């Protein structure tokens, strides 16, 4: 499964680009314990930024991919700018 959220805001400025990339890294860290079981059975996800937006790929067994995608997208909706800044800005 592949999703591409198209948004110019990701690449509007150097600060926006860095913030988007740090948000993806923050999500990877926050999701690690929640996706561990799915990764054990050979499923996984990839989340990244490009000049055109945010890209999400989820791969694995049909019975697990949908639930894994729900977990990742849910976390994307929950993460805040303050959480990203608090984690990376000293």
Question: Is pLDDT above 90 for 69?
Answer: yes
Each domain of the chain, given as residue ranges in start order, spans 2-88
For 11-26, what is the mean pLDDT?
93
What predicted TM-score, i.e. pTM, was given to this entire model? 0.85
Mind listing the pLDDT tens digit for each residue in 48-63?
999 999 999 999 999 8
What is the rounded CA–CA span in Å between residue 80 and residue 46? 20
As given in the structure block, the two tokens for residue 52 are: 């055109």
DSSP state at residue 1: -
Question: Is pLDDT above 90 for 13?
Answer: yes
Which of 48, 52, 59 has its CA nearest to residue 23?
48
- 2-88, CATH topology level: Cytochrome Bc1 Complex; Chain A, domain 1 (3.30.830)
């Amino acid at each position: 499964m592949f999703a591409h959220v198209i948004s110019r805001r990701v690449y509007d400025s150097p600060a926006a680009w860095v913030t988007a990339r740090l948000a993806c890294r923050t999500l990877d860290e926050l999701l690690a314990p929640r996706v561990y079981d799915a990764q054990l059975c050979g499923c996984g996800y990839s989340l990244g930024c490009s000049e055109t937006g945010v890209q999400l790929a989820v791969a694995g067994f049909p019975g697990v991919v949908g639930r894994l995608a729900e977990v990742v997208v849910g976390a994307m909706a929950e993460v805040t700018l303050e959480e990203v800044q608090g984690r990376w800005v000293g």
